[in-house]
Amino acid sequence: MLGSVLLLAVVTVNGIQHGRGVLVLLTSEVVPRLSPASPAGSMEDMPRNPETDLDTDLDTDLDTATARLGEEDVTPDTPAVRTAPAGARPTTAAIWRDRPDLDRANRMSAGCAIGHLGIELTEIGAHHLIGRMPVDRRTRQPFGILHGGATVLLAETLVSCAATFVAAPGTACVGMEINANHLRPVTSGWVTGTAQPVSLGRRSQVWEVRVVDDDDRLVCISRCTMAVIEGR
């Protein structure tokens, strides 16, 4: 803090008074009071940082939790078993509208591409349809292995028949889209396809077909979408 004081001095010389002013500057400084020197200590005696303490606590908690997991047998909770309401249709019920007649379906297919390639429906379950196709001169390509197009024809045949067996009376099913991934070559014997539904809607159906060889090795996997239209 800085201040000033004006001092007025009166001096008499030869009977005449003379005034002299003196400007004095005053300063004020705040000098901190120092506490008596404390004895020197180590780093451990200094106050600890709360954040540092938090990190140490976290490490300790993690070590404790890890040790506890190693000692305890952790078993996931078992979900409660859901029961169907009274009168509900069992989920294992067949998806077919009526009991499909595979012999009749095979007879109807004898005079077209399906019969020409030797495709035949062999088995039907509650949720799947199975058919097979020979690997011979009719279904091989020039390099002596099963033609991918013939495999796709097998897949779409199974889906078309299965979709028709599911569709409501007065409707018909036509193919909208099909794709196939060919995974293994086959040179002889038979390939067997199994069609199972992915989605059964009122206007469309989606099916998946898995094709295997005689050793049950996956040859092709296909997915087909069918449109459900009014019957003609």
Q: Using CB atoms within 10 A of its CB, is residue 137 exposed (0-12), middle (13-18) or buried (19+)?
A: exposed
| CATH T-level topology, domain 102-230 | Thiol Ester Dehydrase; Chain A (3.10.129)
- Out of 51, 123, 156, 177, the active site residue is 156
Predicted confidence (pLDDT) per residue in 104-152, tens digit: 999 999 999 999 999 999 999 999 999 999 999 999 999 999 999 999 9
> pTM here?
0.61
Question: What is the rounded (10 degree) CA torsion for 163, 95, 223, 160?
Answer: -20
* Domain boundaries defined on the chain: 102-230
**Cα–Cα distances in Å, from 213 out to 39, 48, 66?**
89, 73, 50
**Residue 79 to residue 175: CA distance in whole angstroms:** 40
Query: In the chain, which stretches have pLDDT less than 50?
Result: 1-2, 5-10, 22-24, 26-28, 30-32, 34-44, 46-47, 50-62, 64-92
Is-catalytic flag, 156?
yes
CB contact at 8 A, 173 and 226: yes
What's the pLDDT score for residue 19? Answer: 55
**Residue 214 to residue 11: CA distance in whole angstroms:** 137
